[in-house]
């Protein structure tokens, strides 16, 4: 076990990643060898020492297998071990809460923010061999053939925002939000350095309507061995439009009818062609490919602006709004000067008691039909967000 607040080990970031010295990082191992990393708030009151995981655990499952769909070229990870994961446990059996008598959870000690390797990952736990993880491997994965398979190399991590049983990112303090953002940034850098990882994806699923199986406030980070289909489509759009796509998009939206708010470093807006009843994009003002390359000042402002956005969305209705908050980051090894970091937050909620379900056109053909105009959606969100600080 070790404690760090620099970038000289696998728990932290690469040397090019800014690291906040106010946030202490402690790395240790769980009983089955998985990595567990504690990120302590800048104003943390927790003791320095952390407990040891004394559970007796089964060996980790073998890597899942990826299979290629020859009709699209996309890869599907068949991860059968996920079928047995915990489903909506009571508070006294919360696997993301600190361990206590009667609850042998995943985290031995109390914490502010904790990150650990998923016990039943969609990708990993094995990584590609270093000599088979470069550009040639990506080229080979993009080739299309019949009944092609490949090990699901990579890594999946769980990011716990709080030791409390209930909540979400939006219910945290500004200090805690800043700690989570620091964890995202440092883990993006560390995961991007692993052999065979082509893209790193931090995200939060919130609400049972989205399919959440744990009510504990948490998110995840997936490290893919390929460039995801959504990003491949984006690369095609950049090829068709030009390398200034993100800069031009931001210039158009910052002062347009769908803008929600702007800070010194970030702007939030409803996209021109929003698919979902609630959809918000958040862009940094300068070109930055991922969270690892944001500055400390950008992270500081993001902590308050992101909370302001999430709390405003929750004020739309009398009950919390389900959503997926997805951090789209540039591929690890290509097009980093063209693909800009972007948050895309989407919710299927189209009224207080109505959800948008993907019907035939959306689910089968990927041809979307919007239920509300993006401009009226932006107007409602501006009113809900207001001008209050987080």
Annotated catalytic residues are 218
Residue 270 in tokens: 């409803």
307 in helix, strand or coil? helix
CB 324 within 8 A of CB 348: no
CA atoms within 13 A of residue 166's CA, in its CB half-sphere = 6
CA–CA dist 257, 248 (Å, integer): 16
Using the structure block, give the residue that is written with the tokens 């709080």. Answer: 162
CA distances from 111 to 36, 47, 216, 241 (A): 11, 9, 14, 46
Per DSSP (E only), the strands in 226-338 are 259-262, 266-269, 278-284, 323-328
Q: DSSP string covering 41-86, please?
A: -TT----S---------PPPPPPPEEEE-TTT--EEEE-GGGGG--
Q: DSSP string covering 122-159, please?
A: SS-SS---GGGSSHHHHHHHHS--SS-EEE--SEEEEE
* Residue 3 CB contacts under 8 Å (≥ 6 apart), including other chains: 24, 25, 26, 48
CA-closest candidate to residue 35, choices 9, 8, 63: 9
Handedness of CA 290, 295, 298, 303 (dihedral sign): positive
252 in helix, strand or coil? helix
Beta bridge partners of 84: none
CA-closest candidate to residue 264, choices 228, 298, 216: 298
């Amino acid at each position: 076990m070790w404690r760090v607040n620099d970038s000289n080990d696998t728990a932290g970031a690469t040397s090019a990643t800014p690291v906040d010295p106010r946030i202490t990082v402690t790395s240790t191992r769980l009983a089955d060898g998985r990595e567990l990393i504690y990120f302590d708030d800048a104003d943390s009151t927790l003791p320095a020492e952390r407990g040891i995981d004394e559970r007796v655990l089964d060996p980790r499952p073998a890597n899942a297998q990826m299979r290629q769909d020859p009709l699209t070229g996309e890869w599907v990870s068949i991860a059968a071990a996920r079928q047995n994961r915990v489903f909506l446990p009571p508070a006294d059996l919360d696997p993301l809460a600190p361990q206590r008598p009667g609850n042998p959870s995943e985290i031995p000690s109390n914490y502010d923010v904790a990150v650990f390797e998923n016990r039943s990952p969609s990708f990993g736990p094995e990584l590609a061999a270093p000599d088979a993880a470069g550009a040639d491997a990506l080229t080979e994965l993009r080739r299309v053939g019949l009944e092609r398979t490949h090990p699901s190399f990579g890594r999946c991590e769980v990011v716990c925002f709080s030791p409390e049983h209930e909540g979400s990112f939006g219910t945290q303090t500004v200090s805690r939000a800043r700690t989570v953002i620091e964890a995202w940034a440092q883990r993006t850098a560390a995961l991007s350095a692993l052999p065979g990882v082509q893209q790193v994806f931090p995200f939060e699923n919130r609400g049972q309507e989205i399919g959440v199986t744990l009510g504990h406030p948490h998110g995840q980070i997936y490290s893919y061995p390929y460039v995801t289909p959504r990003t491949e489509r984006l690369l095609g759009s950049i090829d068709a439009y030009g390398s200034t796509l993100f800069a031009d998009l931001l210039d158009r939206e910052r002062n347009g009818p769908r803008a929600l708010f702007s800070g010194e470093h970030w702007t939030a807006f409803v996209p021109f062609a929003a698919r979902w009843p609630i959809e918000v994009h958040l862009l940094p003002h300068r070109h930055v490919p991922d969270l690892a390359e944001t500055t400390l000042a950008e992270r500081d402002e993001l902590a308050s602006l992101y909370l302001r956005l999430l709390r405003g969305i929750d004020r739309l209705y009398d009950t919390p709004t389900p959503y997926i908050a997805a951090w789209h980051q540039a591929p690890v090894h290509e097009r980093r000067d063209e693909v800009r970091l972007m948050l895309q937050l989407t919710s299927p909620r189209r009224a207080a008691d109505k959800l948008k379900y993907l019907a035939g056109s959306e689910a089968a053909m990927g041809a979307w039909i919007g239920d509300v105009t993006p401009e009226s959606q932006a107007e409602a969100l501006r009113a809900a967000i207001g001008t209050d600080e987080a």
